[in-house]
Structure 1
Amino acid sequence: MNALVFGVLPIALLAIGTPIFVTLLIATAAGMLMLGDIPLRAMHTALFGSLDAFSLLAVPLFIFAGDIMSRGGIARRLIELIMALIGGIRGSLPLATVASASAFGAMSGSSVACVAAIGKLTLPSLGKAGYNRRFSVSLVTATGVIDVIIPPSIPMIIYAIAAQQSATQLFLAGIVPGLIVASALGIYVVIYSRMKGVPVGEKPRWDVIRPAARRSLWAILAPILILGGIYGGMFTPTEAAGAACIYSIVVSVCIYRELAWRDVWQTAVDSSFLVAQIMIIVAAAGTYSWLITTSGFPAQLVSFIDSLSLQTWALLLVINVMLLLVGSVLEPPAAILVLAPLLTPIAAKAGIDPIHFGIIVTVNLAIGMFMPPFGLNLFASNAIFKMPLPQLYRGVVPFFFIYLFVLALITYFPALTLAPMALYK
């Protein structure tokens, strides 16, 4: 009966198009009725208690900071510097696109914002350099999810709350996987450029690099402030998000002067819509998670998985496949909040490090964001760049397999995620 309420019912509701937060609340209410001895006021307490977490404040702050950086010229100047530095080799422009997404990821954890910011600046140059539009838009769509993997990452913060782990340790563990993804994508775009015979890019020139570096000085300091403050012990991730907001506003309004104060207000209003969507899911999923835990369903699920006598590698394979499928229909925050209460006990029983498991979950859900047919980044690119979805589906296939290869490395070589934590200690 528990499996019907906590598994089959939510899937059925999602299949008929029910919003995720409504699905979770209905499943919670049905579960309370099934258990029978839980007062209705407990749902109210769990609903609002889910939002009562200091670390959760980092989510709206990072979203707001990312929007300010995108609109205030910080992201654009950083991308222009990277494009000026990378040249003289075949594939320099796609390489610059990958590097720009990685740099943007070090400032903001919003994948859709990355797709919009990187795409608007790099697509015209990619087209002029001889890259067809399907490849160019697919590249931007796939590289945009690096933001989810490279810290600071909003899904990592959500996982830290749901699994009661350290967000700082998750950020550390995400550095190497993020760099591996970027390197693998870089190798592919260079090989692709050689195969297609794309002309060699213009060599870097000091007279171009110098003014670009001068213009982007304050932009370069943004990721240094955020990551340096966290790993240097000056900020918690939440405090770093607040510092990023203040820094981006001061630079955009007072130094670059690309935003007026009314633009800051409008950006805050626009960001609040996305924040509201995330927070209502967080509240509903927190209630759902609380009831799952109260019902004892995770313990039953662990016992069932244990009875199958799966080896750890097989268990991880099953979890990866499930997460990929879930990630293709749910946004990472919602997927993490729904699945973390179910999967973390299973991972713990199998002896999988919770930080390593958090990175596995994050990378899976990042891949799901551009996995056909329902990946969020696919719809974002379709709306922003007017690329038909059937073409996008074909275009992202090579990138999908690259990410799968990296996912396999991360899954079965825990040292890739855990080594940075050991060095930090």
Structure 2
Amino acid sequence: MKATAHAAAVAGGPAIQPVSALARAARAVDRAVTHAVEFMAACALVAEVVILGWSTTARYVFGDPLAWSDELATMVFLWLAMLGSVIALRRGEHMRLTAFVRGLSPEARGWLDAIGMTLVSFVLIALIPASIDRFHEVNDGLSPVLQINEGYRSAATIAGCVLMLVTALTSLLRVANLRQVAGAVVLVAVALAVLLRFAEVIEDLGNANLLIFFVGFVAFSIVIGMPIAFAFLVGTVGFIAFATSIPTSIVPSRMEEGMSHLILLAVPLFILLGAFIELAGLARTMIAFLVSLIGHFRGGLQYVLLGAMYLVSGISGAKAADMAAIAPTLFPEMVKRGNREGDLTSLLSASAVMSETIPPSIVLITVGSVTGVSIAALFTGGLMPAVVGMIALSAVVFRQTRSEDVSQAPRFSWKERGRLFLIAIPGLGLPIVIRSAVVEGVATATEVSTIGIIYTVVIGVLVYRQFDWRRVYPILVETASLSGAILLVVGAATAMAWALTQSGFSRQLVELMSIVPGGKIGFLLISALAFIILGSVLEGVPAIVLFGPLLFPIAIAMGVHPVHYAIVAVFAMGFGLFTPPFGVGFYLACAIGRVSPDVAIKSVWPHLAALLVALLLITLIPWISIGFL
């Protein structure tokens, strides 16, 4: 999911005008670098679609699988992830928590932004030599199939860190004045000097130093609004550098491993697919058909919203994109029928929670990547829990719309409904094609996205004839940016999870969780509560990458089915993500619905109560998640 733009912190400020030929040249170089990075990222994304699309065709159609496709795809993928991270930092689109800084004065925000971006810069300065060391470690090796120098792959991390450092320094000068920049640099430099002075003492503290780096430093970084990925890196790099004798090159090594996992390639491809669905008009036709069926009933448009979210959710990879594809079409007519805007925004937010487990969910793909649980099983197990959530929300809708005036609502004849159904068939068929291809083994969770992309482009060009090719390049760049924001979190969280494991924290966590009262049920309830809290602070992807490898083995040891545990975790994290006051997803829903959070927060509680009941049912009744496996 996209986080609040960092640039928003300085929106409305005076434009910086070039005052000299040198300044104009610097801005020209900056623009040139920006365009070059965006172009390379777009090309990498197109290359991934071509590689995986041809690989699927060669294996399934011609029966001649390409032995080199996965190897080349992962190498290009790491470059895509790093270039996308650069674009995301330049655009201010990295995931971050803004709940604590949202109401501060511009002066206070300037100080915190300066400290945050200074920390980002120092982390990148530390990672660049570490990445170079990592490059030298692998430079003599060759890839198994293509026999390509492994240095080409590792060079992506160096290039990404250097470009992000340039971007961070530019952003630092943009978000704060010189006094704030100087103060932030001095503050961070003093902190580093203290750590250097007492490094031996810190190392002798044992696991107590985890509180300094992974609680103190990470929590402080997140609270001041620093991007979550860099907050993780602050704690990890600090822990490795000052509390252990492990070389810092292990950090880029773990990041590369986490970011280039082939399963995660589904992230950018499904994000691209979601954008193409809107571009080709598939979402619009599905909504029009649903409206023709039940739009004239009391609460009909609310039920349409729930049904539409069920159909399209998860494909885009970003809840904001799912909500933005549906809300603008339905909200104006809902308001005409006398529905309160707060109720509508609350329902939109809750529907995003309901649909968290619907495949092809990016969070489910991430779960499979970091825990080894079958993606096909997760996709199958996620459908029924979403139905339970939809039924719970439908009960709230039924209660709230008993007095809705539908006298002026248009009624469609069966002939008109049939026509709209025929028009919507391509859109309605896409989720079926995607899910069937994975479940039936036609394509992997990664490859099936290319099938969806090709299908959507063909339908948009030949059937609906509204595929605007001029929008494709901006969509490619936006996809790379959002993917980079997600994948950098995955890489940083992978490094952080490795450090926690090496410290012995995972073993202590296993011992603690194994003695939770109530046995398996108590463990599940405690886990659900923990993931609600994690989801409200970290969002789904970083939370599952960080804690999935630690908690899933405990769940399996206690007799919990891994698919059941995954669904509980994902649904609970979604609940936390959209729960005020900390859940950033709630504020995204307010922005899309164009309703003040102060208005919407008064209406959110009935929907959250219904979802809490659904979560309890999913937690206590395993059949809901694993009954159809």
Question: So what's the TM-score if we normalise by structure 2?
Answer: 0.64
The partner residue of 2:490 within 251, 264, 282 is 282
**Corresponding residue for residue 242 of structure 1:** 450
1:142 to 302, 326, 350: 350
Q: Distance in 2 between matches of 1:308 and 1:137?
A: 38
d(CA) in 2 for partners of 1:54, 1:93: 40
- The answer as to whether partners of 1:118 and 1:140 remain within 8 angstroms in 2 is no
Does structure 2 retain, via aligned residues, the 8 Å contact 1:302–1:346?
yes
Q: Judge conservation of contact 1:86–1:204 (CA < 8 Å) in 2.
A: no
Match of 2:383 among 175, 190, 194: 175
Q: 1:2 to 1:317 in 2, by over 3 A?
A: farther
Change (3 A) 1:246 1:229: same
CA deviation digits over 1:48-73, x for unaligned, max 9? 11122111111111111011112321
Alignment match, 2:430: 222
Of 511, 521, 525 in structure 2, the residue corresponding to residue 313 of structure 1 is 521
Assess, with a 3 A threshold, how the Cα gap between structure 1 residues 34 and 304 changes in structure 2: closer, same or farther: farther
Residue 85 (structure 1) aligns with: 293
Q: Secondary structure at the match of 1:372?
A: coil
Do the aligned residues in 1 keep the contact of 2:222 with 2:231 (CA within 8 Å)? yes
Give the 3 Å change call, closer, same or farther, for CA 348–31 of structure 1 in structure 2: farther
CA deviations on 1:328-368 (whole Å, 9 max, x unpaired) are: 12221122112213322332332222211111110011112
CA contact (8 A) 1:114 1:147 kept: no
Aligned residue in 2 for 1:122: 330
Cα distance change of structure 1 residues 73 and 207 upon mapping to structure 2, 3 Å threshold:
same
**Contact kept in structure 2, 1:107 and 1:226, CA below 8 Å:** no
Distance 2:236 2:415 in 1: 62
1:29 aligns with 2:242: no
Report the alpha carbon displacement of residue 117 of structure 1 after superposing the two structures with TM. 1.0
Match of 1:12 in 2: 220
CA distance in 1: counterparts of 2:337 and 2:416, whole angstroms = 18
> 2:406 — aligned with what?
199
Deviation at 1:203, TM superposition (A): 4.7
1:210 and 1:123, CA in 2 relative to 1: closer, same or farther beyond 3 A?
same
**What is the Cα deviation at residue 310 of structure 1?**
5.1
Q: Cα distance, 1:46 vs. partner?
A: 1.0
Structure 2 counterpart of 1:111: 319
Matched position secondary structure for 1:148: coil
Alignment check: 8 A CA contact 2:578 2:584 kept: yes
Question: How far is 1:24 from its partner?
Answer: 0.9
Aligned position for 2:273: 65
Paired residue secondary structure (1:144): helix
Q: 1:373 aligns with which of 563, 567, 581?
A: 581
What letter corresponds to residue 485 of structure 2 in structure 1? Q
The one of 552, 558, 582 aligned to 1:350: 558
- Decide which of 475, 497, 500 is 1:292's aligned counterpart: 500
Q: Rate the CA distance shift 1:371–1:28 in 2: closer, same or farther, 3 A.
A: same
Of the structure 1 ranges 95-104 and 368-377, higher mean CA displacement relative to structure 2 is found in 368-377
Task: Give, as a single letter, the amino acid of the residue that structure 1 aligns with 2:331.
Answer: L
Answer with 182-191 or 154-163: which moved more. 182-191
Deviation at 1:161, TM superposition (A): 1.0
Q: Is the Cα contact below 8 Å between 2:209 and 2:243 reproduced in 1?
A: no
Equivalent position amino acid for 1:179 in 2: V
Mean Cα deviation higher: 287-296 or 270-279: 287-296
The CA distance in 2 between the partners of 1:51 and 1:57, in whole Å, is 9
Q: Which runs of 5+ in 2 are unaligned?
A: 1-207
8 Å contact from structure 2 (residues 339, 404) kept in 1: no
State the partner residue of 1:162: 370
- Decide which of 209, 213, 224 is 2:421's aligned counterpart: 213
- Pair 1:409–1:367, CA change in 2 (3 A): same
Per the TM alignment, residue 107 of structure 1 is displaced from its structure 2 partner at its CA by 4.2
Q: 1:266 aligns with which of 471, 474, 477?
A: 474
Distance in 2 (alpha carbons) for counterparts of 1:106 and 1:203: 31
2:151 paired with 1:151:
no
Provide the C-alpha distance between the structure 2 equivalents of 1:258 and 1:289, rounded to a whole number of angstroms.
45
CA separation of 1:396/1:71 partners in 2, compared to 1, >3 Å: closer, same or farther?
farther
Distance in 2 of aligned mates of 1:168 and 1:12: 39
Question: How far apart are the structure 2 equivalents of 1:384 and 1:51?
Answer: 30
SS, match of residue 288 in structure 2 = helix
Cα distance in 1 for residues equivalent to 2:553 and 2:252: 26
Please tell me the root mean square deviation across aligned C-alpha atoms, in Å. 2.0
CA distance in 2, matches of 1:302, 1:250: 50
Q: Deviations over 1:58-103 (max 9, x none)?
A: 1111111011112321111111111112245322121111111111
Contact 1:58 1:238 in 2 (8 A): yes
Supply the distance in 2 between the matched residues of 1:40 and 1:141 (Cα, whole angstroms).
41
CA deviations over 1:153-195 (Å, ceiling 9, x no partner): 011011111212111111111011011111221232122211x
* Cα distance change, pair 3–319 in 1 and its aligned pair in 2 (3 A): farther
More displaced 10-residue stretch of structure 1: 147-156 or 317-326: 317-326
Partner residue, 1:302: 510
SS of residue matched to 2:359: coil
Instruction: State whether structure 2 residue 339 is matched by structure 1 residue 131.
Output: yes
Give CA deviations for 1:370-389 in whole Å, capped at 9, x if unaligned: 10013233222332332111
CA distance, structure 1, for counterparts of residue 339 and residue 279 of structure 2: 27
Offset from partner CA, 1:19-64 (integer Å, 9 cap, x none): 2111111111233235523222222211111122111111111111
The equivalent of 1:42 in structure 2 is 250
The question of whether the paired residues in 2 share the 8 Å contact of 1:116 and 1:384 is answered with yes
Q: Distance in 2 between matches of 1:384 and 1:262?
A: 24
2-side partners of 1:351 and 1:3: how far apart? 30
Query: Contact (CA 8 Å) 2:218, 2:231: kept in 1 or not?
Result: yes
Amino acid at match of 2:265: L
Quote the offset at 1:202 in angstroms: 5.0
The one-letter code matched in structure 1 to 2:406 is P
Structure 1: unaligned runs, 5 residues or longer? none
Q: Tell me how far apart the structure 2 counterparts of residues 141 and 386 of structure 1 sit (CA, whole Å).
A: 13
Contact kept in structure 1, 2:217 and 2:235, CA below 8 Å: yes
Cα distance in 1 between the residues matched to 2:342 and 2:220: 35
Q: Which amino acid aligns with 1:85?
A: L
Judged with a 3 Å threshold, the aligned counterparts in structure 2 of structure 1 residues 309 and 100 are, in CA distance, closer, same or farther, namely: closer
Q: 1:13 is aligned with what amino acid?
A: S
Further displaced range: 207-216 or 17-26: 207-216
- Number of aligned positions between the proteins: 420
For CA contacts below 8 A with separation 6 or more, give which structure has more relative contact order. Answer: 1
2 CA distance for matches of 1:267 and 1:187? 38
User: For 1:132-152, what per-residue CA distance to the aligned partner results, in whole angstroms no more than 9, with x for missing partners?
Assistant: 222122212221333422111
**Bigger Rg over Cα:** 2
CA distance in structure 1 between the partners assigned to 2:352 and 2:512 by the alignment? 37
Residue 91 to residue 397, structure 1, CA distance change in 2 (3 Å) = same
Checking the alignment, whether the CA contact within 8 Å between 1:158 and 1:336 is kept in structure 2 is yes
The answer to whether the 8 A contact 1:298-1:345 is kept is: no
What is the CA deviation profile of residues 194-245 of structure 1, one whole-angstrom value per residue up to 9, with x for unaligned ones?
Answer: 1x34436555421321221222222122112111111222111111111111
Could you say what secondary structure the match of 1:238 adopts?
Answer: coil
Write the letter of the residue equivalent to 1:379: Y
